Amino acid sequence: MRYISTRGDAPVLSFDQVLLAGLAEDGGLYVPESWPQFTADDLRAMRGLTYPELAIRVMTPFIGDRIDPAEFAAIVHETYDDFGHPAVAPMVQLGPNFWLLELFHGPTLAFKDVAMQLLGRLFDHLLSKRGERITIVGATSGDTGAAAIEACRGRSAIEIFMLYPHERVSDVQRRQMTTVDAPNVHTIAVEGTFDDCQDLIKAMFNDTGLRNELKLSAVNSINWARVMAQIVYYFHAALALGAPDRKVNFAVPTGNFGNVYAGYAARAMGLPIDSFVVASNSNDILTRFFDSNDMSISGVEPTLSPSMDIQVSSNFERLLFDLLGRDGDAVKQAMAQFREKGTLPLDAAQWQTATELFTGYKVDDARTKQVIADIFAKTGVLLDPHSAVGVDAAAVRRPDGDDPLVALATAHPAKFPDAVESATGVRPELPARLADLHDRDEHMKILPNSLDALRDFVRETSELRGAA
């Protein structure tokens, strides 16, 4: 499999190169040159496979010969054999033909673990083979940082520095980062906001000397391998519900469009998916786009579902590439206009094509709490605020007919206990393996909002570690 950039101006790469590169050098995102195809018979033969067996089947065409098949299989088994739930991604029924796909059983209780746990191992495997080491730096307002740290802890080819805004993340989120005791993990509390943290990271990448010296890298949501790993659970859910002999619909709580784009990819590979409901909180740029071809930026509003508090969905560019006929120049122009004017120019026919498959729906905080309370009263299931946004959008925008509809649950309720408790009166409990999270020792470095201080700390720590 070869990968091309959505902006058409970067080298064509193989899987291992795309994994390590992240963003393409023309500013675009890498996508497969063509979609691997599974026929109805191929799909029938996948029924009953365990999650890791299915994962190997679905992902192998994307990797080609760039990782030895036996080694890849071992990595996949190591990732998913012990993932917090024997089914990895179990489904719970909420109503007639209405299902919840629980993606939050991984180590940090959010769906990002499903991809990140594989990514950490793939990075480590490929770098070790090449005898290289990298330094991953990132800024987090919560979920992504914890998932990245868990994915990288103890991996010998990776050093990871994660910034978060001091005293501005939740207790659970902070402890999931600061209680990790691994010599290659460095959690930094910056005396500033999340935007300050992001600016510091950008400044580090812009410092070419530092970037080369430390081999800086990122594990952000645009990495192709994250999308690839997320494709698997769409197959897992659809096969369990009768695919390829029944069509399935999905509702996805969306921020950067990475999760729902993985579903789009599954469909392109032959999985019979009829439609996607793209669920947003009050940050509703995608809902406005699918409703009325209005993709215009407004300010970010904090909500009960912070991992969806996003205005510009970076993975949308991958869908845009297809909507514009896989024309890299057209994508480049559209993105330039989006950056300059804050609106995306799509003509009526292109927008129409998107709406045949996707509908958007916005759920505000008041309604989110109401849904958490209603679902708990009717089914006994506790939803976190992100999952509740998806469930409500699914219920409202459910297509006609009796094809199954699956809402993706992206975080464990215990990750957002205050919102869940205020909606239901029940305080959700952490799973047993995290029950002592609040008693574990915390390790973090508190730094002022200063690039010099950060650079010195990263450099000194890396030198000490390199000498060790």
Ligand X SMILES: *Cc1c(COP(=O)(O)O)cnc(C)c1O
Question: Which residues would be at the binding site for ligand X (CB under 6 A)?
Answer: 110, 112, 143, 221, 253-259, 307-308, 386, 410-411
Nearest approach, Cβ of residue 372 and ligand X (Å)? 14
Three-state helix/strand/coil letters over 187-205: EEEEECCHHHHHHHHHHHH
Nearest approach, Cβ of residue 386 and ligand X (Å)? 4
Instruction: List the catalytic residue out of 112, 247, 332, 362.
Output: 112
Query: What is the residue-wise DSSP string for 334-386?
Result: HHHHHHHHSB----HHHHHHHHHHEEEEE--HHHHHHHHHHHHHHH-PPPPHH
Distance CA 196, CA 206 (A): 15
Q: Which is nearer to ligand X, 79 or 303 (CB)?
A: 303
Find all residues with CB under 8 Å of 452, minimum gap 6, and list them: none
**Cβ atoms 444, 188 nearer than 8 A:** yes
265: phi then psi, degrees, rounded to nearest 5: -65, -40
Distance CA 262, CA 273 (A): 12
Q: Output the six-digit token pair for 231.
A: 């494709």
66: phi then psi, degrees, rounded to nearest 5: -80, -15
**If you ran DSSP here, which 8-state letter would residue 447 be given?**
E
Nearest approach, Cβ of residue 112 and ligand X (Å)? 5
Task: Provide the CB-side half-sphere exposure for 161 (13 A, CA).
Answer: 28
Q: Output the six-digit token pair for 179.
A: 């209680």
Could you give the 3-state DSSP secondary structure of residue 382?
A: coil
Rg (C-alpha) for the chain, rounded Å, is: 21
Number of other CB atoms surrounding residue 87 within 10 Å: 13
Helix (H) / strand (E) containing 395: helix 385-396
Question: Which amino acid is located at 224 in the chain?
Answer: W
Q: Give the angle subtended at the CA of 23 by the CAs of 163 and 226, to the nearest 5°.
A: 75
Find all residues with CB under 8 Å of 275, minimum gap 6, and list them: 249, 250, 357, 358, 359, 399
Torsion of CA 121, 308, 211, 187, to 10 degrees: -70
- Please identify which residue in the block is written with the tokens 């999650």: 51
362 is catalytic: no
99-134: b or e for each residue (b if 16 or more CB lie within 10 Å)?
A: bbbbbbbbbbbbbbbbbbbbbbbbbbbbbeeeeebb
**Cβ atoms 250, 263 nearer than 8 A:** yes
Q: List C-alpha distances in Å: 324 to 131, 153, 274.
A: 40, 40, 21
Q: Which is nearer to ligand X, 244 or 255 (CB)?
A: 255
Nearest approach, Cβ of residue 213 and ligand X (Å)? 31
**Cβ atoms 211, 19 nearer than 8 A:** no
Catalytic residues: 112
